[in-house]
Amino acid sequence: MVNSHADPVSTAGPATTVERTVDEAVDLHARALAATAVPMALFESRDGMLSVVWVNDAFVRSLGYGVEGALAREPAVRQELEQDPVRAGQLAAALAAGQPFTPTFSLGRGDGTRFVCQVHLAPVPTDDGSTPTSWVAAFQDMTEQLSHDAEQAALVEAERRERRSLGLIAQVSDLLMDVDDPHALREIAMLLRHGVVAWAGFFLNDRGLRAADGVDPAHPPSGKGHRHGGDVYRLDGRAPRPSTPDVVQLLLDGDRDRPVEIQLDAGYPQNSASAWLAEHVGTEGYRPSGGGTVLPEDRRAVVYPVPGRRRVLGLLAVLPRGGGGLRGVEPSTTTVLELTARRVGLVLDNARLYDREHRLAETLQRAMLPQQAEVDGLDVWTYYAPNSENVQVGGDWYDVLQIAPDVVGVVIGDVVGHDVEAAATMGQLRSVVRSYSFDITTPGPVLERVDQLVAGMRVPRSAGLVLSTLTRREGGWRLDYSRAGHLPVLHVRKGVATELRGAGGALIGFGGSGRSTSSVELEPGDVLVYYTDGLIERRDRGLRDGLAALADVSSRITARDAAGIGEELLSRLADHPEDDVAVVVVRVPDPGDLVERARSPRRRRWSLPSEPASIGRARHAVVRTCQAWEIPDAANAELVVSELVANAVLHGYGHVSLQLYDTGDGLRIEVEDGNPAPPVTTDGHPGRVGGFGMQIVERLADWGWRQSRGGKLVWAKVRPGQLPPTARG
């Protein structure tokens, strides 16, 4: 039989067991939440905001307070949300929609520190599916992650600063490559202003402090103790001793090598270096910038020395961003500024050392090379230019001597080397050859005596030369010559070039068995070309090929004066010389070429200062010379000289040299200045400026230009009667 009460009893028994299991599970969940290591809390939604009703033990350990402390700090959290309307709106939308939300908060701990955390909010579902009113939150500690992020950001920022510093130093180095640019230092100062400081400026110590817009290597820096201006603030009792040391002067004197700080509105002693610098930095540094803002009110400047090898060449003054003087300069900025100052000082010192060596070598070279003098009865043109890589000094030389009324000596030689020692050896040989040539007019015996003297002097460099004498004879000239290890003279007659290879011998000092002399009878119109190997030898062209090229060019030259022949040789053979070049062109005048005159071409030379007044002086000089030489169309020559000298004054630098040659078939004009840049003519474009003067020269004369040892030489040849009457006025 079946028991009819079994089901109710059976049903009631299991139900009671299930209810006890749920209670146990709830208690277990509560104890699990309370024991978890993650800070957790339970919130209720009230009026669109959350209010805490329960926290676990991890929350208490992390923040230092429980529910009461959390309730006390809720106004601060709400105030934080009010200051962040975007996050407050996102939180309100999440509460209204019952969706999870993960904001980031910075909560105050019980000990006053901050607990930065990411709050993972989730709604607690209701039984009937209505809008949740309870929310559970887990707090993720962000301190370690933020510390790691901060470290990474700091590393990235440090790397960025290093890259910026390296880039800035690279830009400074690029600008210093063109240290002759008059605005190089100003450009470097502008880089520093844009990159690391609020303002920067260089001040050079050339004969007293001066603001530096560029580099002026012609003026060496002043010595120790020199002040700006004529009145020096004395420390020997004649004037009151200052209460504070002149820190800027200590930098200039080299007594302090670390940066110093100066107060721009402090009362430094009058005429002291600190007072002068404070005045100039205050004037320049606190002008309104391009954006209309002014620099910080903290008027303290930091001054760095610009050191050379043996002395301080100047100062770098900066105003830190935000002020603060020395303390306001970051360590990375200090490194950039010190490196910049040192590099500028080194480059300035190198530029000045090179300039002094350059001027010394050039002075030595000019003193040893003769000025081209008048030679009776012969048309002579001379040229010398050192290789620009050899400090404007070398061992090539020439000499033209009027030994007697009817005897002319011509020497060309080459000493091995490109330094001051080579130039000194050249000067010794030149003096010896010149002295013996006046005693003995036959070249071979002269070189024998030179050999003997050089062997006794123990001259350290070997040298080769050609010594020749031209003797006037009835109806022409005779050439006697002797060679000592030098290239042969080229003899050109009626378009045929011949190398004079006779009387060859060893280098000077190695003669030993005597020197011979060869002779050639010269006819009117004959041309002699003396040269050194720099005219013909190149890396891509051997000596034999160079000699063949010289002979070919010389045989096809159409000029009828020595200067024109020489210029044509240079234009075709010496456009890119790799060595020193010395050339002497001697032409025996042809009486048929000199209209109504049997005299040799005449020449005059003037050295003019680079100033506008020189243009008028040059015009008067050419007019007087044309009148004296009875050359017609002086107005054309006057205009050409005016334009060439004006270009030299306006676009060149250094002294201007003006030379006039009466070639017999016209007037040759040569103007030399210190700027190697070539003259240009305008192409007629309306945007072009200048160049019209050379169009006038091109209209009135044949012209050209070449590099010279000091810059460039522009020549023009004006032929009388070549222009129509309308162009002559």
Task: Supply the pLDDT for residue 235.
Answer: 33
Give the CATH fold of the 601-729 domain: Heat Shock Protein 90 (3.30.565)
Residue pLDDT, tens place only, 611-643: 888 888 888 888 888 877 888 778 888 899 999
Distance CA 706, CA 713 (A): 5
Written as six digits, the tokens of 558 are 């159409």
Task: Supply the pLDDT for residue 392.
Answer: 52
Share of the chain above pLDDT 70, in %: 77
| Cβ count near 660 (within 10 Å) | 22
Which CATH class, in words, describes the domain spanning 36-141?
Answer: alpha beta
Going from N- to C-terminal start, the domains of the chain cover 1-34, 36-141, 154-357, 373-598, 601-729
Q: Is the pLDDT of residue 373 over 70?
A: no
Distance CA 593, CA 164 (A): 72
Instruction: Decide which of 501 and 367 is more confident.
Output: 501
Mean pLDDT score across all residues of the chain: 77
Instruction: Decide which of 411 and 194 is more confident.
Output: 411
Whether residue 698 contacts residue 647, with contact meaning beta carbons closer than 8 Å, is answered with no
Distance CA 158, CA 228 (A): 41
Q: Is the pLDDT of residue 19 over 60?
A: no
Distance CA 91, CA 102 (A): 9
DSSP letters for 334-370? HHHHHHHHHHHHHHHHHHHHHHHHHHHHHHHHHHHSP
Q: Is the pLDDT of residue 313 over 80?
A: yes
Whether residue 319 contacts residue 285, with contact meaning beta carbons closer than 8 Å, is answered with yes
Give the CATH fold of the 373-598 domain: Phosphatase 2c; domain 1 (3.60.40)
Written as six digits, the tokens of 390 are 């050899």
Max avg pLDDT among 211-215, 245-249, 432-436: 432-436
Euclidean distance between the first and the last CA atom of the chain, given in angstroms as a whole number: 156
Residue pLDDT, tens place only, 127-173: 787 878 888 999 988 877 777 767 777 777 666 766 776 777 777 77
Q: Is the pLDDT of residue 335 over 70?
A: yes
> What's the order of all strands across the beta sheet hosting 396-404?
396-404, 407-415, 463-473, 476-484, 518-522
Nearest to 260 by CA among 301, 306, 205, 299: 301
Mean pLDDT is lowest, of 227-236, 328-337, 391-400, for 227-236
Which CATH class, in words, describes the domain spanning 154-357?
Answer: alpha beta
Distance CA 384, CA 708 (A): 8
Residue with tokens 């006779």: 502
Max avg pLDDT among 148-152, 321-325, 399-403, 555-559: 399-403
Predicted TM-score (pTM) of this structure? 0.51
The answer to whether domain 36-141 and domain 373-598 are alike in fold is no
Distance CA 467, CA 443 (A): 6
Phi and psi, residue 35, nearest 5°: -90, -10
Q: How confident is the model at residue 470 (pLDDT cuts 50, 70, 90)?
A: very high
Q: Is 711 left (phi over 0), alpha (psi -120 to 50) or beta?
A: left
Task: Supply the pLDDT for residue 483.
Answer: 93
Nearest to 550 by CA among 526, 564, 562, 533: 533
Nearest to 498 by CA among 518, 537, 527: 527
Phi and psi, residue 267, nearest 5°: -90, 75
